[in-house]
Amino acid sequence: MTRSMNNVLLIGTLARLPEFRVTNSGMSVFEGTIAGEETIIGHDGKARTLPFYERIEILGKPADWANEKNYQAGDPVLVEGSLDYSSWDAPEGGKRSAIRTKVLRLEALAAACQTVQDASGGLRMIGGTNEVRIVANLTREPDLRYTPAGDAVLSLSLAVNEQWTDRQNVKQEKVHWVDAVAWRDLAEASKNLKKGDPVMIFGRLTHESWTDKEGNKRSSTKVEASKIEALARSQGSGAAEGTTRTAPARPTTQPVAAGSRPSYGKAGVAPAGQVGDSGLQDFPPEEALPF
């Protein structure tokens, strides 16, 4: 088992007025959506503005504290958290699963920010931050495919291990099953990774949605990798200690100067296949659980 890393950093605005409620059991719940957009330059040298929307949820006493701060739509905030996996039995049958951002810290930013209003009236920060860093093990062989335009895309299935000691001093453990995707040069450089390999992945959260064969709306969250580092396997895991594979030294994406917001269209499709605010991607994932 690889010692894990599971970090999410979001800087954006509250897209709409956050919601606060108390459940029948007395649990306080604070919910909101963090929205922003990043401008990056891909390997093709083209700049793209990529929006992001992340739903956050805070439970218990921290929810009460967040509610007391009287956050409003458009307020700039910083969120630190981790990826959290959950699964359940769907009413129509079968298993369903989701990855959400578990909030560990929510802070208002002192400085004002520029925002843009989206088609549904939500406010999105210009120049936000959407960063993920995880250390995990591959749960299956990577799947390399190509888009009709010839771009390589590599799908990765990951297990992020979380361990902690509860209030009764009992050790607990949970596995977060995460899907990741790498594009173009990074996809080609990482295609020889094997099931069980430990990796460190830097990237950003993306969402995709589609309609299944039964006509149901489906969605999922992935990590779009900007850098992948293959870590050494521990002794006895089937690989020699110290063998590593790394992605190219040049990241898949590079930030551009603040205030630069070039548009992109048919000639500049977003790296993850995103279209506008919809978050659609080229390859809908299989939602089968990895166990």
- The per-residue pLDDT for 249 is 33
Which helix H or strand E contains 35, and what residues bound it? strand 28-41
- Cβ atoms of 160 and 178 within 8 Å: the answer is yes
- Considering only the top CATH level, what class is 5-255? mainly beta
CB atoms within 10 A of CB 249: 6
CA distance 290 to 120: 35
- Kindly list the domain boundaries of the chain, sorted by start residue: 5-255
Per-residue pLDDT of the chain (291 residues; tens, 9 = 90+): 556 799 999 999 999 999 999 999 999 999 999 999 998 776 666 888 889 999 999 999 999 999 999 999 999 999 999 999 888 887 777 788 888 899 999 999 998 899 999 999 999 999 899 999 999 999 999 999 999 989 999 999 999 998 888 888 888 889 999 999 999 999 999 999 999 999 999 999 998 877 777 777 777 889 999 999 999 886 554 433 333 333 333 333 333 333 332 222 222 333 333 333 333 233 333 333 332
CA distance 82 to 176: 10
Contacts made by residues 51-54, CB under 8 angstroms, sequence distance 24+: 51/118, 51/124, 51/274, 51/276, 51/277, 52/10, 52/12, 52/128, 52/130, 52/204, 52/205, 52/206, 53/15, 53/122, 53/124, 53/207, 53/277, 53/279, 54/10, 54/12, 54/79, 54/101, 54/130, 54/205
User: What's the whole-model pTM score?
Assistant: 0.76
